[in-house]
Amino acid sequence: MRRKLLTTFGFDAEGQLVHVKDTQKGELYTCPQCGDRIIARNSGKIEKGSKRPHFAHVKKSKHKCNGASVLHHLFVTQVVGILQNHLERGKEFIIKWSCPYCSQMYAPNLLKKVKSIRTDYSWQGHTPDIALLDKDGKLLIAIEIPVRNKLTKKLIHAYEEQGIILIQVHPKETDITQVENKMQHPDYVGFCSNKECYNMQFYQHTIRRIIFHQPLKCKTCNKVVDGYMVKTASAFGSLKRENLNEEEKKEIANRYFRGKKATLANFVIYGKCKCVPYSKNLQAVKKG
């Protein structure tokens, strides 16, 4: 049996978040969810001979606040504040996860393509806890913060069918003091760009392969050659460099070299270097 969630955080008179164990007698505290007055109590459910301190409303709240709803409200509010601050400052917010199907690791900027953040965005009759939208107001990424109840399979499949990235974070009471760190390491991210992965099928129409040029310097003879390669782009922006497929190699050779002899390795190379033209012998040259 899971332990009942109690309200353990409240706001003091200065609007600062306070844990129930740090309350002072005679001070005024309010509920983070509804704003009504709350008081500290030490008469919670007895477990292992000890009582669990918690906050309780002075008067019955019409908002039906409880431990789970307060935790959810606090976590969502703080995440939105953190992400909005990063977005306004043009600062990256890196999240890290591994695909649950193929274990491929990712560490992209969550806000790369995001232009606005909303908690009231309606999508197919559902309101995501936090909606990250692109420049056209389209839902790119949905962040769900389930505290007690799991998301339904129907909702998860709906996100997948539309290629919308679903991020799930399952906060505990102790996570309120480390919201940013918890958000940077989500419990689940429904996205993968690995073409060999089962999960990729849901997002393949949202992923683009972009050919780009990169000057490369030979570690052996120090000559600079032209390298043409491809990278995957998604709602997270450019993810990583990929090996070219045969069609892409032919396209590059026809478009850029027009019959000139080029070396076809993991990427296309054109230049005077006669050393072994593979990536282990070449290093990128910074442009500009």
pLDDT of 140 = 95
Summarised one tens digit per residue, pLDDT across range 93-146 is: 999 999 988 998 999 999 999 999 999 999 999 999 999 999 999 999 999 999
The residues, any chain, with a CB within 8 Å of residue 113's CB and separated by 6 or more, are 134, 140, 235, 236, 237
Average pLDDT, the chain: 85
pLDDT of 47 = 47
pLDDT above 90 covers a percentage of the chain that reads 49
pLDDT of 288 = 53
pLDDT of 260 = 57
Q: Considering only residues 260 and 217, tell me which one the structure prediction assigns the higher pLDDT.
A: 217
Q: Considering only residues 167 and 215, tell me which one the structure prediction assigns the higher pLDDT.
A: 167
pLDDT of 266 = 52
Give the pTM.
0.79
pLDDT of 265 = 55
pLDDT of 49 = 45
Query: Where exactly are the structural domains of the chain?
Result: 9-65, 69-204, 207-284
pLDDT of 46 = 45
Dihedral of CA 234/236/240/241: which sign?
positive
